[in-house]
Amino acid sequence: MAVEEVPEEQDHTSKKKKAEEEYEKAFENNFNSILVCPEVTWKKKVTPGSLMKALIKSGGGSAKPVDGDQVIFHCTIRTMDGVTVNSTRLEHGGNGHPNRYIMGKSKMLLGLCEGIPTMLKGEVAMFKIKPELHYAEDDCPVATPENFPKDDELHFELEMLDFFKAKIVNEDMGVVKKIIGEGQGWECPREPYEVEAWITAKDANGKVILPRMKEPYYFTFGKSEIPKGLEMGIGTMAKGEKAVIFVNDCYLTKSSLMQIPKGLQEVQFEVELVHFIQVRDMLGDGRLIKRQFMMEEFELRWFLTCQELTYNLALVSSNGLAVDRPLEHRHFGSGKHFFVLLYAGEFPMDCPLQDSLLRVHYKGMLLNEDKTVFYDTRADNDGEPLEFCSGEGLVPEGFEMCVRLMLPGEVSLVTCPPDYAYDKFKRPSNVPEGAHVQWEIELLGFETPKDWTGLNFQNIMDEVEKIKSTGNRLFKEGKFELAKAKYEKVLREYNHVNPQDDEEGKTFLNSRNTLHLNVAACYQKMGEYRKSIETCNKVLDANPVHVKAFYRRGMAYMLNGDFEEAREDFNTMIKFDKSSEPEANAALQKLKQKEQEVEKKARKQFKGLFDKKPGEISEIGTIPADEPNIHDQEPAETQAKDDSHVETEGLGLFARLWPSGRRIFAALGLNRCSIL
Average pLDDT, the chain: 79
Contact present, 176 and 102 (Cβ < 8 Å)? yes
Rounded CA-CA distance 463/493 in Å is 11
Task: Report pLDDT for 315.
Answer: 37
Q: Is the predicted pLDDT of residue 337 greater than 60, yes or no?
A: no
The whole-number average pLDDT for the span 633-653 is 35
Task: Report pLDDT for 41.
Answer: 43
Closest CA to 599 of 626, 573, 563, 574: 563
Q: Is the predicted pLDDT of residue 29 greater than 90, yes or no?
A: no
649 DSSP assignment = I
Task: Report pLDDT for 656.
Answer: 43
Helix (H) or strand (E) holding 78: strand 69-78
Closest CA to 524 of 560, 496, 575: 560
Task: Report pLDDT for 304.
Answer: 37
Task: Report pLDDT for 193.
Answer: 93
- How wide is the angle at C-alpha 139 spanned by C-alphas 136 and 145, nearest 5°? 55
Q: How confident is the model at residue 75 (pLDDT cuts 50, 70, 90)?
A: very high
pLDDT digits (tens, 9 = 90+) for 425-454: 999 999 999 999 999 999 999 988 777 888
Q: Is the predicted pLDDT of residue 412 greater than 80, yes or no?
A: yes
pLDDT digits (tens, 9 = 90+) for 212-228: 999 999 999 989 999 99
Of residues 508 and 353, more confidence is placed in: 508
pLDDT digits (tens, 9 = 90+) for 483-500: 998 899 899 888 888 888
Rounded CA-CA distance 304/256 in Å is 40
pLDDT digits (tens, 9 = 90+) for 463-483: 899 899 989 999 998 889 989
Closest CA to 356 of 254, 523, 489: 489
Of residues 76 and 29, more confidence is placed in: 76
Task: Report pLDDT for 403.
Answer: 94
Helix (H) or strand (E) holding 309: helix 306-318
Q: Is the predicted pLDDT of residue 392 greater than 70, yes or no?
A: yes
Rounded CA-CA distance 390/78 in Å is 74
Rounded CA-CA distance 276/283 in Å is 21
Peptide bond between residue 192 and the one before it cis (omega within 30 degrees of 0)? yes
Q: How far apart are the first and last CA of the chain?
A: 125
Q: Is the predicted pLDDT of residue 398 greater than 60, yes or no?
A: yes
pLDDT digits (tens, 9 = 90+) for 84-119: 999 999 898 888 889 989 998 888 998 999 999 999
Contact present, 195 and 219 (Cβ < 8 Å)? yes
Contacts of 562 (CB under 8 A, 6+ apart): none
Q: Is the predicted pLDDT of residue 638 greater than 50, yes or no?
A: no
SS3 content of the chain, % helix, strand, coil (to 5): 35, 20, 40
Peptide bond between residue 428 and the one before it cis (omega within 30 degrees of 0)? no
pLDDT digits (tens, 9 = 90+) for 580-604: 999 999 999 999 999 998 888 888 7
Q: How confident is the model at residue 145 (pLDDT cuts 50, 70, 90)?
A: confident
Q: What is the pTM of this model?
A: 0.59
Write out 95-158 in H/E/C secondary structure: CCCCEEEECCCCCCCHHHHHHHHHCCECCEEEEEECHHHCCCCCCCCCCCCCCCCCCCCEEEEE
Q: Is the predicted pLDDT of residue 316 greater than 70, yes or no?
A: no
Least confident of 37-41, 156-160, 225-229, 356-360: 37-41
Least confident of 65-69, 140-144, 414-418, 422-426: 140-144
Least confident of 324-333, 357-366, 400-409, 661-670: 324-333
Task: Report pLDDT for 455.
Answer: 86
Q: Give the total residue count for the chain.
A: 676
Task: Report pLDDT for 36.
Answer: 42
The whole-number average pLDDT for the span 296-321 is 38
CA 528 to chain centre: 26
Closest CA to 354 of 449, 444, 290: 449
The whole-number average pLDDT for the span 272-279 is 93
Task: Return the percentage of the chain with pLDDT > 70, whole number.
Answer: 75
Task: Report pLDDT for 615.
Answer: 54
Contact present, 77 and 154 (Cβ < 8 Å)? yes
Task: Report pLDDT for 18.
Answer: 58
Helix (H) or strand (E) holding 445: strand 437-447
Domains of the chain: 51-165 (3.10.50.40), 175-278 (3.10.50.40), 356-447 (3.10.50.40), 457-602 (1.25.40.10)
Q: At what angle do helices 502-525 and 547-560 cross, to 10 degrees?
A: 20
Residues facing residue 163 across a β-bridge: 71
Contacts of 54 (CB under 8 A, 6+ apart): 27, 30, 31, 33, 34, 125, 126, 127, 128
Task: Report pLDDT for 610.
Answer: 54
Q: Is the predicted pLDDT of residue 627 greater than 90, yes or no?
A: no
Cα Rg for the chain, rounded, in angstroms? 39
Task: Report pLDDT for 516.
Answer: 95
pLDDT digits (tens, 9 = 90+) for 544-563: 999 999 999 999 999 999 99
Q: Is the predicted pLDDT of residue 566 greater than 90, yes or no?
A: yes
